[in-house]
């Protein structure tokens, strides 16, 4: 074994040790030295690029993180995970032009590995932000079908259904989830809340009254950059709906997170827009 290979192995082991010890700056120095000594395309080089991308994302330097992911794509063009990470990094920028790039990268990831639920989930959220709620619902349905026991994907689907003013469909989805999550009493409260909102919508539609904003136990999201009037990531992207009479226009329900609700404290565990 040559001294260079021994040095690269030692740097990789040291970088992983510092990573697990949460010494981010020292770990980054080790991974940069790995890039200097390792041959491009080797396993150690790819590991260093991935770690440096994660460290750049951690300090919210998304442009630097995308450079490391693109370097990985140049040597592994058929790896769906790099397209997913590239699209996710574009999506975190909250810029319309960058989100279109995120859409292209995420679609490529879905074509390469259609069985990954998280790829469909991020693609659905990106489509919702860009104003394509029907396509977003198909992606979120697909993510939930791939992992039916995931509360995260189910709640993302319910959030978009409620933002689209599709109360009956959201209630049917919650009824299906009730059989999966029988041991958790919070789902019974979700089902009752959906039934109440459905009845309230029918009553207001019959009286031709505008539907006011309601407090729902589902995860909210920050608005896009430059949009300070809507707290939901889907409210600005969804068209208005009409009532049964066809005379008045009803504004879509705006979702807001109730911090005191049990779901927001125990079940969600949302970590930003990952």
**Residue 43 in domain:** yes
* Model confidence pLDDT, tens digit, residues 11-22: 999 999 999 999
For the chain, the domain total comes to: 2
Cα–Cα distance for residue pair 240/250, rounded to 1 Å:
6
**Residue 148 in domain:** no
- Residue 209: the pLDDT is 53
**Residue 29 in domain:** yes
- Residue 179: the pLDDT is 78
- Of 193 and 71, the structure prediction assigns the larger pLDDT to 71
Residue with tokens 């009254």: 209
Quote the percentage of the chain above a pLDDT of 70: 72
Domain range for 40 is 1-62
**Residue 85 in domain:** no
Cα–Cα distance for residue pair 184/201, rounded to 1 Å:
27
Using the predicted structure, report yes or no on whether residue 124 has a pLDDT greater than 90: yes
**Residue 58 in domain:** yes
**Residue 14 in domain:** yes
**Residue 151 in domain:** no
Residues whose CB is less than 8 angstroms from the CB of residue 89 and which lie 6 or more positions away in sequence, other chains included: 57, 62, 65, 66, 69, 102
* 62, 91, 111 - which closes a domain: 62
Please provide the average confidence, as pLDDT, over all residues in the chain. 77
* 62, 79, 100 - which closes a domain: 62
Using the predicted structure, report yes or no on whether residue 116 has a pLDDT greater than 90: yes
**Residue 87 in domain:** no
């Amino acid at each position: 074994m040559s001294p260079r290979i021994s040095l690269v192995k030692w740097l990789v082991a040291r970088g992983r040790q510092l990573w697990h010890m949460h010494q981010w700056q020292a770990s980054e120095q080790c991974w940069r030295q790995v890039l200097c000594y390792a041959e491009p395309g080797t396993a150690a080089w790819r590991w260093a690029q991935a770690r440096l991308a994660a460290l750049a994302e951690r300090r919210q330097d998304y442009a630097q993180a995308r450079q490391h992911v693109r370097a990985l794509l140049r040597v592994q063009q058929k790896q769906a995970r790099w397209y997913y990470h590239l699209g996710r990094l574009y999506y975190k920028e909250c810029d319309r032009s960058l989100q279109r790039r995120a859409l292209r990268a995420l679609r490529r990831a879905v074509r390469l590995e259609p069985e990954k639920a998280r790829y469909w989930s991020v693609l659905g959220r990106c489509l919702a932000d860009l104003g394509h709620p029907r396509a977003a619902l198909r992606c979120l349905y697909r993510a939930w079908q791939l992992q039916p026991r995931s509360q995260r994907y189910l709640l993302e689907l319910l959030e978009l259904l409620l933002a689209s003013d599709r109360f009956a469909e959201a209630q049917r989805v919650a009824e299906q989830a009730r059989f999966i999550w029988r041991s958790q009493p919070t789902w019974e409260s979700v089902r009752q809340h959906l039934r109440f909102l459905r009845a309230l919508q029918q009553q207001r539609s019959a009286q031709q009254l505008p539907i006011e904003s309601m407090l729902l136990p589902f995860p909210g999201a920050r608005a896009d950059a430059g949009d300070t009037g809507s707290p939901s990531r889907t409210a600005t992207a969804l068209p208005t709906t009409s009532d049964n009479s066809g005379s008045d226009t009803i504004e879509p329900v705006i979702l807001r997170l109730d911090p005191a609700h049990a779901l927001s404290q125990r079940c969600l565990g949302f970590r930003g827009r990952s």
